[in-house]
């Protein structure tokens, strides 16, 4: 293995474990929401707002930290966002009521929202073009690892020791920030970092929406909104949906863990295909699979059908996420790459605000799970349409 490939794999591991910790928190939240409903006697609308407040924080974090990454550098912002997330997780374990818990979820969300687009941008800029798509999708595959860990914790820790122990465990990831700093000493920042300081925040935003990048920005905003809206609407409510369909809490957590395992082959298959077929066809194909199995899962009634369709939904949805993270930074030049990627992710998080809250509202108004998941199916098809008509193929593109 040559020196460049060793550096790429080291960067993948360092950034990937930070990604895994983020996913572990998001995954645990879906189980914690279910536990909090019983402990704090929450309504469906209040449960929905826990997920939505996290997404509000992610929207703010993606926008602010994405812009700062163009000015201060990707590496330092990546560490700062991890600390935001870790400190918020630790403090959330002290919550005795909904209000303080929501404030901490906003702080956690800001760290999460900033870290993900900055990490994918940093990795994209340090990997050879012929391997870039595959490496970024493999980076995203650490998300599945985090969800698997969260499912294990939810199944064996939360029922016995409570959700606070899980929150404290997540907070310990702050220690990893030190290791991350040491592990990225030989990772290069783009030479143009710092020059972006010549651009005001508003100038950077205008440049992202300038005529040169308007079409790809519109495509990305539609894509991110529909994918994030459907993902957080479906997956944050997954354990609760299983309870609604008649399964007890412990069995629901176990079924969700099985579905979560299907994320890994989804990522790995997308990582293999992305450099074979290109970004657009793989992204469109996995989004179509997501739409189909969202509809089938929402209308399934038997255990076998629920687990099967849920696993296939995880497979295609998370594979699409991986390709989306690889595809997004490739749309912009270096001087606005962090800003453009962060803005797309930030706008997408609005979908993450709307999705969980909408599900809570619809369930409280006796709307069936089948009809709710049909809404997500239609949303994903809007994303497919945007990529098909507005997206360009970026396979093999050399980043300036």
CATH at residue 288: 1.20.1250.20
In a domain, 115, yes or no: yes
In a domain, 151, yes or no: yes
Residues in the chain predicted with pLDDT less than 50, given as ranges, are 250
In a domain, 204, yes or no: no
> pTM of the entire structure?
0.83
d(CA 276, CA 270): 10
Q: Measuring CA to CA, how many Å separate 181 from each of 34, 178, 187?
A: 36, 5, 10
- Contact in structure between 111 and 61 (CB atoms under 8 Å): yes
* Residue 250: per-residue pLDDT: 47
Number of domains present in the structure of the chain: 1
d(CA 66, CA 336): 9
In a domain, 195, yes or no: no
Residues 6+ apart with CB under 8 A from 32: 158, 163, 166, 167
To which H or E segment does residue 79 belong?
A: helix 74-92
In a domain, 310, yes or no: yes
| Residue numbers of the domain that contains 27 | 3-181+211-390
In a domain, 203, yes or no: no
In a domain, 110, yes or no: yes
What DSSP state is assigned to residue 197? G
In a domain, 199, yes or no: no
* Residue 60: per-residue pLDDT: 93
CA–CA–CA angle 151, 82, 66 (5° rounding) = 115
Q: State how far Cα 109 lies from the chain centre.
A: 11
Start-end of H helices in 184-237: 201-208, 214-235
Q: Measuring CA to CA, how many Å separate 136 from each of 162, 232, 304, 369?
A: 35, 21, 33, 34
């Amino acid at each position: 293995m040559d020196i460049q490939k060793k550096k790429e794999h080291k960067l993948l591991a360092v950034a990937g474990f930070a990604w895994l910790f983020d996913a572990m928190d998001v995954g645990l939240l879906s189980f914690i929401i279910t536990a909090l409903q019983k402990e704090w006697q929450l309504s469906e609308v209040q449960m929905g707002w826990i997920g939505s407040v996290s997404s509000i924080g992610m929207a703010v974090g993606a926008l602010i930290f994405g812009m700062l990454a163009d000015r201060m550098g990707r590496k330092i912002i990546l560490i700062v966002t991890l600390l935001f997330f870790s400190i918020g997780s630790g403090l959330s374990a002290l919550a005795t009521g909904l209000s303080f818990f929501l404030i901490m979820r906003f702080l956690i969300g800001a760290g999460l929202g900033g870290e993900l687009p900055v990490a994918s941008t940093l990795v994209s800029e340090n990997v050879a073009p012929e391997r870039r798509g595959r490496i970024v999708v493999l980076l995203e595959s650490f998300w599945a690892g985090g969800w698997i860990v969260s499912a294990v914790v939810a199944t064996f820790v939360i029922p016995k020791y409570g959700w606070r122990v899980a929150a404290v465990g997540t907070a310990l990831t702050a220690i990893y920030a030190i290791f991350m700093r040491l592990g990225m000493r030989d990772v290069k920042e783009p030479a143009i970092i710092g020059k972006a300081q010549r651009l005001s925040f508003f100038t950077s935003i205008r440049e992202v929406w300038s005529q040169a990048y308007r079409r790809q920005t519109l495509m990305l905003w539609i894509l991110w909104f529909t994918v994030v809206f459907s993902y957080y609407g479906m997956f944050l409510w997954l354990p609760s949906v299983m309870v609604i369909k008649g399964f007890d809490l412990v069995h629901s957590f176990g079924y969700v863990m099985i579905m979560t395992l299907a994320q890994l082959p989804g990522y790995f298959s997308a990582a293999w295909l992305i450099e074979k077929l290109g970004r657009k066809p793989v992204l469109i194909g996995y989004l179509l699979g997501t739409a189909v199995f969202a509809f089938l899962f929402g209308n399934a009634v038997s255990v076998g059908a629920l687990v099967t369709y849920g696993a296939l939904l995880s497979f295609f949805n998370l594979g699409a996420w991986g390709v989306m993270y690889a595809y997004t930074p490739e749309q912009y030049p270096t001087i606005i790459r962090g800003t453009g990627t962060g803005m797309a992710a930030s706008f997408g998080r609005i979908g993450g605000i709307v999705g969980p809250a909408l599900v809570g509202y619809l369930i409280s108004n006796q709307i069936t799970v089948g009809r709710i998941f049909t809404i997500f199916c239609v949303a994903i098809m809007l994303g497919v349409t945007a990529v098909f008509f507005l997206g360009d193929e970026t396979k093999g593109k050399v980043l300036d």
